[in-house]
Amino acid sequence: MHGQNARSTCQTGAVITLPIRTERLLLRMATREDLPTIAAYRDDPEVARYQDWPLPYTLDDAVAGFRRVADLTGPAIGRSVNVMIEHEGAVVGDLFVGIGDEHPGGAVAFLGYTLATAHQGKGFATEAAAAMVDALFERTPVHRIVATLDPENFASMRLLEQLGFSFEGLARKAEPIRGEWLDDMRFGLLAEDRAAWLARPTSCELVELVELTEANLGEVSALQTHRFQHRFVAPMERNLAQALVPPVVKDGVAAVPRYWAVEADGQIVGFLMYSDVSSVEPYPFLWRFMIDRMHQRRGIGAKAIAALVDHVRAEGHEALGVSWVDAPGGPRRFYERLGFVPTGELDGEEIVARLHLVRPPCRGIAGGGAPHRTPPATVSADRDAPAGDDRQSGVDRDREADVLDGHAARVGGAGRVDADHAAGRVEHRPTRVARADGRVGLDQAGERALARGDGAVECRHDAP
Ligand SMILES: CC(C)(COP(=O)(O)OP(=O)(O)OC[C@H]1O[C@@H](n2cnc3c(N)ncnc32)[C@H](O)[C@@H]1OP(=O)(O)O)[C@@H](O)C(=O)NCCC(=O)NCCS
């Protein structure tokens, strides 16, 4: 983390009284006894990798840092302090807290954190930083907190964004770190951002895939993931550009974009785009999927996938493909929980995975439902085995079916889908693929199937 050596000379008293207790931690000022521990973890090249202190970091450096703040009992305006993070009686790291004195009516604080390697990955830094952020906003005139990072420091980005910080910009070659000018990313959090973050909804009732319209395009364009997720998914401007000008997938054949906005409880919260089957793609391939940073972890993503699965099933497809970047904080666990299974192939550096779609639960139509339509016999692709050449075990397929059926049932939680099924009016009703004009049945899939006149739409789509 950059900027942890910044200091100001103005001396005033502490504005936050320590210690602060959190669920697992104690935040307190350093004592002389802590200094060897501090020197040891700060001298660890792994810990120092993205930090701005010189290496080696010696006991003398720790002593000098301790002396600079010996008069303080906590963070103070115009000063920078390192606050110890203690867990079960042992120091596991420290927080850096600097509060500016340039703005008398309010103040800007700088935040940093350092954890000893052995104590990383347990959520300690997040827990400590959250407590300090709240103390700064609640107990001091601070209205804005800033953190600056090395652009490669994804773990730190993720931590900040999980507290409600947002990315504000990149300064190029702005920080002299150990003899090298490095880029510097800036994240910021206002008091009102933190309040909005803490008050954001944590669940949702109804998820729908809705068409992009003139009316919702502004909201769709404004959707954003966290900054640390930019390595997992393209930004909205690229998604929209590629929907308009699809990229070539293979052998000169372009992707066939099908896309919707994701709406949760009436609010636009995400975007989903798959590439439809073509001469080089035997299965639909989920190509772009993102939920806005303020709406993640509400269960919306899983419900949107369930709605998409209903849709591609209704079109008669037997599988849905996806690929992901396998890195910490990435979507691997999300997809695997939904039943996507890696095929063993790579698309560039991305893991290719596939979800096998079970035979649709065709309820409510006399005769037990129509047969599944298989992908056109002429297709071939490098990504997939031919339809039916399924290398997965039956057990895997059953598990996927269970996972998806579970999600699909929850999508129907608002009652609409299940009620329709029960009333025997529809077999598969992609009502969640709603049109702006209210015609539910003729969604993109239905229109294409009817245009083909191939009878591939086995399920009647009633108007609501
Ligand atoms: C991947 C992504 C689309 C998932 O969307 P989402 O709406 O956050 O998904 P969900 O809320 O359904 O599930 C996400 C996680 O939150 C958990 N969760 C769901 N509801 C929750 C709740 N109310 N409270 C806490 N956690 C919850 C889920 O169990 C899941 O955990 P997991 O990561 O361990 O599987 C979203 O994180 C995203 O946009 N990421 C960036 C872009 C990206 O990676 N896209 C995929 C490109 S291939």
The predicted-structure confidence for 386-434, as pLDDT tens digits, reads as follows: 333 333 333 344 444 444 544 432 332 222 222 233 222 223 333 344 3
Question: Which residues line the pocket of ligand 1, CB cutoff 6 A?
Answer: 202-203, 225, 229, 232-233, 289-291, 296-302, 322, 324, 331, 333-334, 337
Q: Which CATH superfamily is 9-198 part of?
A: Gcn5-related N-acetyltransferase (GNAT) (3.40.630.30)
**H-helix or E-strand spanning residue 396:** helix 394-411
Tokens of 450: 């009817």
Task: Give the pLDDT mean for 303-326.
Answer: 96
Q: pLDDT by residue (tens digit) across 32-83?
A: 999 999 999 999 999 988 888 889 999 999 999 999 999 999 999 999 999 9
By most ligand atoms within 8 Å of CB, the mutation choice from 204, 291, 293, 300 for ligand 1 is 291
Whole-number Å distance, alpha carbon 216 to ligand 1 midpoint, is 23
Higher-pLDDT residue of 233 and 443 is: 233
Whether residue 151 has pLDDT greater than 50: yes
Asked if residues 331 and 232 have their Cβ atoms less than 8 Å apart, the reply is yes
Q: Are 137 and 163 in contact (CB under 8 A)?
A: no
Distance 35 CA to ligand 1 centre (A): 41
- The residue nearest atom 37 of ligand 1, judged by CA position, is 296
Average pLDDT of the chain is 80
Higher-confidence residue: 404 or 273?
273
Ligand 1 closest atom vs CA 297: 11
Both tokens of 47, joined, read 């810990």
> Which residues, other chains included, contact 426 with Cβ-Cβ below 8 Å and sequence gap of 6+?
364, 420, 459, 460, 461, 462
C-beta of residue 138 within 8 angstroms of C-beta of residue 13: no
Position 102 scores a pLDDT of 82
Q: Return the pLDDT at 260.
A: 98
- In angstroms, the CA 352 to CA 173 distance is 36
How would you classify residue 369: left for phi > 0, otherwise alpha for psi between -120 and 50, otherwise beta? Answer: left
User: Which residue out of 297, 335, 337 has the highest number of ligand 1 atoms within 8 Å of its CB and is therefore the one to mutate?
Assistant: 297
Question: What is the reported pLDDT for 463?
Answer: 28
What confidence score (pLDDT) does residue 3 get?
54
- The model's confidence at residue 2, banded by pLDDT at 50, 70 and 90, is low
pLDDT at 408: 37
Identify the pLDDT of residue 143.
95
Indicate if the pLDDT at residue 313 is higher than 80: yes
Atom of ligand 1 nearest to the CA of 232: 44
Q: What is the pLDDT of residue 335?
A: 98
Stated pTM of the model? 0.78
- Average pLDDT rounded to a whole number, residues 239-248: 97
Least-confidence region, from 15-29, 48-62, 372-386: 372-386
Query: What confidence score (pLDDT) does residue 248 get?
Result: 96
φ, ψ (nearest 5 deg) of residue 128: -70, -45
pLDDT of residue 154: 94
Nearest to 69 by CA among 36, 95, 102, 108: 95
Residue with tokens 């350092």: 114
- Residue 376 or residue 246, greater confidence: 246
205 CB contacts (<8 Å, ≥6 apart)? 265, 413, 414
- pLDDT computed for residue 49 by the predictor: 87
Between CA 51 and CA 62 the distance in angstroms is 15
The CA 232 to ligand 1 mean position distance, Å, reads 13
Which residues of the chain form CATH 3.40.630.30? Answer: 9-198, 203-432
Query: Which one is predicted more confidently, 305 or 421?
Result: 305
Q: Pairing between strand 80-87 and 319-324?
A: unpaired
Distance from residue 415's CA to the centre of ligand 1 (Å):
23
Question: Which range (47-51, 253-257, 297-301) has the least confidence?
Answer: 47-51
Confidence of residue 179 (pLDDT cuts 50, 70, 90): confident
Atom of ligand 1 nearest to the CA of 202: 23
The per-residue pLDDT for 264 is 97
The CATH class that applies to domain 203-432 reads: alpha beta
pLDDT at residue number 170: 96
Q: Is 331 a residue whose pLDDT tops 60?
A: yes
- Determine the pLDDT at residue 437: 30
